[in-house]
């Protein structure tokens, strides 16, 4: 089974946080799942390695994760989700003072990962299922495949 690995899981491993999500990756490795990530995940991980791409490649190889480029189908799917997000995006105001409140912002890279996972994989392994459920509802979470 092809599983898209989201950046959040890899950062969890690097920071040794959210053990239950880390364990899902190690389960996937044990089950010899085909673990892949779009190139944007590589870019998002670079700061964790202070730009040392050799060390980053080694980390990915040790975790059996292959990096693939985004293709037009993935980017088109990402763009469709991004447009839905931009349409829904509102900045709520505080009912007491009228100031604009902060809300969680998503980045285009989240949509690239979702589009890639939807067009290239059977499921996604992530800690942040909310965005993928909302904008890529057809995309299965790996936790449902265990």
pLDDT in tens, 31-60: 999 999 999 999 999 999 999 999 999 999
Buried b (16+ CB within 10 A) or exposed e, 13-49: beeeeeeebbebbeebeeeebebbbbebbbebbeebe
Contact (CB, 8 A) for 112 and 69: no
| β-strand partners of 68 | 38
How many domains does the chain fold into? 1
Domain residues for the domain of 11 are 2-144
DSSP state of 115: H
CATH number of the domain to which 83 belongs? 3.40.50.1010
For the entire predicted model, the pTM comes to 0.84
| pLDDT tens readout for residues 73-125 | 999 999 999 888 888 876 666 667 767 655 555 688 999 999 999 999 999 99
């Amino acid at each position: 089974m092809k599983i898209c690995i989201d950046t959040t899981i890899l950062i969890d491993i690097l920071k040794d946080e959210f053990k239950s999500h880390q364990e899902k990756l190690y389960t996937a490795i044990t089950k010899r799942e085909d673990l892949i990530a779009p190139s944007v995940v590589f870019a998002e991980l670079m700061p964790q390695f202070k730009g040392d791409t050799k060390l980053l490649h080694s980390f990915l190889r040790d975790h059996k994760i292959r990096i693939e480029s985004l293709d037009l189908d993935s980017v088109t799917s990402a763009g469709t989700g991004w447009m839905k997000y931009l349409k829904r995006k509102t900045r709520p105001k505080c009912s007491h003072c009228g100031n604009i409140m902060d809300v969680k912002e998503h980045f285009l890279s989240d949509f690239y990962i979702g589009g890639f996972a939807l067009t290239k994989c059977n499921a996604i392994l992530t800690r942040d299922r909310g965005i993928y459920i909302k904008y890529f509802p057809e995309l299965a979470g790996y936790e449902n495949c265990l």
